[in-house]
Amino acid sequence: MAVMSEPRTPGTPGAAQWDSGWYRFARHTPSPNFGPRPGHTPVDLLVLHSISLPPGVYGGPHIAELFTNRLDWAAHPYFETIRGLQVSSHFYIQRQGELWQFVSCDDRAWHAGASFYRGRANCNDDSIGIELEGLEGDTFESAQYETLEALVGALAGRYPIDHIAGHEHIAPGRKQDPGDGLDWEVLQRTLGLSQSCFPAVTKK
């Protein structure tokens, strides 16, 4: 059974933000789907995804169950189409902004798949995966942006993050998430990062 810890409130006196790659202000649900990063690999890329299980259904336990290999494949017809899938992400942000963590950021989660970005293949090696609960191409909630802003700030304080991209940018033609519903301009302004940190996107 997955071990859960209650999320802690940022700003708690004396509370360190990180413990061996685990963010203390997230709900911890360790996944078995991870491995070591290649030696001397800089962790400098954040990859944003969107996910919902079944597609378009929010708030259920199925995403956490998928990432921890506990999903009942017979519970919904859609699950049969992904039967046996073993994946994970470092973080997952629910619609109301609650933050979960499944893999230590010091380790390699299985979120990117076949991918290539900034002249590098195998983006799992040098990236941190962040799943936003949502339907591909649909919009996201303000609470999710707020949690993402805080998380990116904490990650940038620990790892040499220099780029943020969507799954669609590292696996074009194969993946389309998070899609047009993610407002990259708002994200850039909110995070206060240079435009060079983001993929080239068309203004809405």
Q: What are phi and psi of 175, to 5 degrees?
A: -130, 150
131 counts as catalytic: yes
Quickly count helices (H) and strands (E) in the chain: 4, 12
Closest CA to 45 of 167, 176, 145, 140: 167
What's the rounded Cα separation, in Å, for the pair 77 and 54? Answer: 9
Closest CA to 34 of 127, 103, 85: 103
Q: Which of 65, 98, 131, 168 is catalytic?
A: 131
Sign of the alpha-carbon torsion through 186, 112, 105, 132:
positive
| Residues annotated catalytic, as ranges | 131
